[in-house]
Homo-oligomer: A and B are copies of this chain.
Amino acid sequence: MTDRRPTPISAEQQGAVDLLGVLAYGALLAFDRLAADARKAPSLAERVHVAHLAARQMAHFRRVQSRLAELGTDETRAVEPVRGAFDAFHRHAEPNGWFEGLVWSYVAQGIAADFYREIAAFVDPLTQAVVLEVLAEEPDDDFVVRTVRAGVRADPRLAGRLALWGRRLVGEALSQAQRVAADRPSLTSLLTGTGAEPGMDLAVISQTFARLIENHTVRMRTLGLQS
């Protein structure tokens, strides 16, 4: 083995690498979650459908991997700083059964996608293209919406449990996003512009979070659930 030192990364590229790291690890954990959910599907057709959704996460991962290589780094290094927050989210928001798994994929991936989209506006055009391309292919909302609505029709008690679950997910997601924002100034400075005053940062971040919560409310309503 030769000693291959990483190419130094410019300060402005660090934000892009951080975003790609978040996207990569998010895809890997979504793959895990969806693969586990597939096993809980009540029918073979649904199992196959969710397994395909899982596989698609790895296609996203591959695209992010290529962009990281172009930026002179790799997924192992890019993912390291954000692993803690993601692992905590997945540990604290473990779905229980088929329907909670579906709501998880819709709600958590929805919030994540909104968050990535907000940040993608501020990275270099090539990274932005990769992020938007991956997001454009994102979740098969129709399948989840149809299945959850049918589930609630068949068992109305499910509505309350899933509404609670959605609230827990958004709370946990925002608390972990805050943790990433605090740990990675390179990401937050993308949102707020470098050199902004600390108080300013906080205002921009809370506006971003307000938009994330608004979109979340719309998603819960689409599922036929109270937010």
In the complex, A104 has a CB within 8 A of chain B? no
Asked if A58 and B61 make an inter-chain contact with CB atoms under 8 angstroms apart, the answer reads no
For the complex, give the distance between the alpha carbons of A32 and B62 in Å.
20
A54 touches B48 (CB 8 A): no
* Interface: A45 (CB within 8 A): yes
Interface of A is mostly: helix
Q: Which of A20-61 contact B (CB under 8 A)?
A: 28, 31-32, 35-36, 38-39, 43-45, 47-48, 51-52, 54-59, 61
Q: A28 touching B51 by the CB < 8 A rule?
A: yes
For the complex, give the distance between the alpha carbons of A47 and B44 in Å. 26
User: How many angstroms from the CA of A122 to the CA of B132 in the assembled complex?
Assistant: 46
Count class of interface residues, chain A? 20 to 34
Do residues A58 and B47 form an inter-chain contact, with CB atoms below 8 A? no
* B44 contacts A55, C-beta separation under 8 Å: no
Which of B44, B59, B75 is the one whose CB lies under 8 Å from A48?
A: B75
CB-defined contacts of A65 to chain B, threshold 8 Å: 48
Nearest Cβ in chain B — how far from A107, in angstroms? 22
Give the chain B neighbours of A190 by CB distance below 8 A. none
Q: Once the chains are docked, how many angstroms separate the CA of A61 from the CA of B48?
A: 9
Q: Is there an interface contact between B58 and A31, defined as CB atoms closer than 8 Å?
A: no
Interface assignment of A177: CB less than 8 Å from any CB of chain B: no
Question: Which residues on the B side are within 8 Å of A62 (C-beta)?
Answer: 52
Q: Which residues of B lie under 8 Å from residue A76 when comparing CB positions?
A: 43-45
Q: List 24 A-B contacts (CB under 8 A).
A: A28-B47, A31-B35, A31-B51, A31-B54, A32-B35, A32-B38, A32-B39, A35-B36, A35-B54, A43-B76, A44-B75, A44-B79, A45-B75, A45-B76, A48-B65, A48-B75, A51-B58, A52-B61, A52-B62, A54-B54, A54-B58, A55-B56, A55-B57, A55-B59
